Amino acid sequence: MPLFDMPVDQLPTYTSSATEPTDFEGYWDETIAVARAFPLAASFTPTENLLTVIDSFDVTFAGFDGAPIKAWLHLPSNRIAGERLPVVVQFIGYSGGRGLIQQDTAWAQAGYAHFIMDTRGQGYGGLLGETADPHPSAGDVAYPGLMTRGVNSRESYYYRRVYVDAFRAIEAAQSHSEVDAAKVLVTGISQGGGLAIAAAGLTAGRLDGVIALMADVPFLQDFPRSIDIAPRGPYPEIASFLNRHRTSYDSVLDVLNYYDGVHFAGRCTVPALYSCAGMDDVCPPSTVYASFNNYGTATPQPPVKEMEYYRFNNHEGGQEHHRLRQLHYVADLLAG
């Protein structure tokens, strides 16, 4: 696909038109406080994976409204007894779940603890999932998919639950006895990248231990522009909903504004490595740059941030080349 978004030289200065709600911080303070009223109750059950170099644990913890959320925790089997490992907390792309036990152990192979959160109500496409979304708003009038589920109010919107799950996933990973709770890195591709940004923004000032963010071709950024220009992927679900609910644009945008990754990015205080694909028609490059350009701007000392731009790639992004870039990034960060 050819370049379809704004000229490349305009991306580094582009800013989103999304305006942060005046009660954004208070809304999320209250939401996290309600979530924490439920015991985390994280459990780690050793589970056979048939891999000689990785030990795996089937994880369950309490997410939004205390609902059980599944995850995997993978540890290198040659770890030193009593040593606590840095942990990479990974979030999954849209429609995917945590996958099968042996499906992704890359970060554990590199010597880190690797925690993969299942995504509630997903796992029907891509990677397998096992976590239900029992919330009543799952039955609301919506366009097929998840983007407009519960979008009639900020309290019932689907991603309120998922963002809280992501926050609590970090707490769950930190609770394991072999994890260094002071060395948490959050990462993900597409939706996973958006959840990593939201989690890093939510933990700022609320939870210690997150030290870096890696977000690849992140989704859930700059909703106003994404809805207007993305021709493929989940964003068109919102456009299709508004195609029939023609007077609902302002009210829908008001709700989505509480979930726009651009606002969470502004609150992030840790170093970040983003990636962007120049021909991405699912998460257009301008929307990724909207998040990157706003990253850390609401903090007294904006953190160091880096962008890898893959000009001739679509939503697959940098793939194996970027994974190698990430491995170097994490090694350098922890060595420093």
**67 has pLDDT over 90:** yes
Could you say which of 74, 114, 263, 315 is catalytic? 315
The pLDDT, as a whole number, for residue 125 is 85
Asked whether residue 1 carries a pLDDT value surpassing 70, the answer given is no
Q: According to the model, what pLDDT value does residue 30 have?
A: 98
Number of domains making up the chain: 1
Task: Let me know if residue 131 belongs to a domain.
Answer: yes
The active-site residue out of 16, 56, 95, 190 is: 190
Q: What pLDDT digit, counting tens, does each position of 173-193 carry?
A: 999 999 999 999 999 999 999
pLDDT of residue 205: 96
Give domain status of residue 46, yes or no.
yes
SS3 labels along the chain: CCCCCCCHHHHHHCCCCCCCCCCHHHHHHHHHHHHHCCCCCCEEEEECCCCCCEEEEEEEEECHHHCEEEEEEEEECCCCCCCCEEEEEEECCCCCCCCCCCCCCHHHHCCCEEEEECCCCCCCCCCCCCCCCCCHHHHCCCCCCCCCCCCCCCCCCHHHHHHHHHHHHHHHHHCCCCEEEEEEEEEEECHHHHHHHHHHHHHCCCCCCEEEEEEECCCCCCHHHHHHHCCCCCHHHHHHHHHHCCCCHHHHHHHHCCCCHHHHHHHCCCCEEEEEECCCCCCCHHHHHHHHHHCCCCCCCCCCEEEEEECCCCCCCCHHHHHHHHHHHHHHHHHC
Average pLDDT across the chain, whole number? 96
pLDDT at 142: 83
Asked if 104 is an active-site residue, the reply is no
- Domain assignment present for residue 3? The answer is no
Is 23 among the domain residues?
Answer: yes
| pLDDT of 218 above 90 | yes
Half-sphere exposure at residue 78, Cβ-oriented, CA atoms within 13 angstroms: 6
In a domain, 262, yes or no: yes
Q: Looking at the domain assignment, is residue 122 inside a domain?
A: yes
pLDDT of 156 over the 90 cut: yes
Distance CA 278, CA 55 (A): 38
Q: Tell me what pLDDT residue 141 has.
A: 76
- The CA distance from 164 to 219, in Å, is 17
pLDDT tens-digit readout, 90-130: 999 999 999 999 999 999 999 999 999 999 999 998 789 99
pLDDT in tens, 185-216: 999 999 999 999 999 999 999 999 999 999 99
Catalytic residue among 280, 286, 291, 322: 280
Phi, then psi, of 202 in degrees rounded to 5: -70, -35
Q: What is the DSSP pairing of strand 179-189 with strand 210-216?
A: parallel
pLDDT at 293: 98
- The pLDDT tens digits of the residues spanning 12-54 come to 999 999 999 999 999 999 999 999 999 999 999 999 999 999 9
Q: Is 245 a catalytic residue?
A: no
Query: Is 319 or 134 the better-scoring residue by pLDDT?
Result: 319
Predicted confidence at residue 41, as pLDDT, reads: 98
The pLDDT value recorded for residue 238 is 98
- Asked if the structure places residue 327 within a domain, the reply is yes
What's the token pair of residue 27? 């809304």
Check whether 249 is labelled as a binding-site residue: no
228 given a catalytic annotation: no
Residue 280's CATH number: 3.40.50.1820
Domain span holding position 202: 8-335
Q: Is residue 285 included in any domain, yes or no?
A: yes
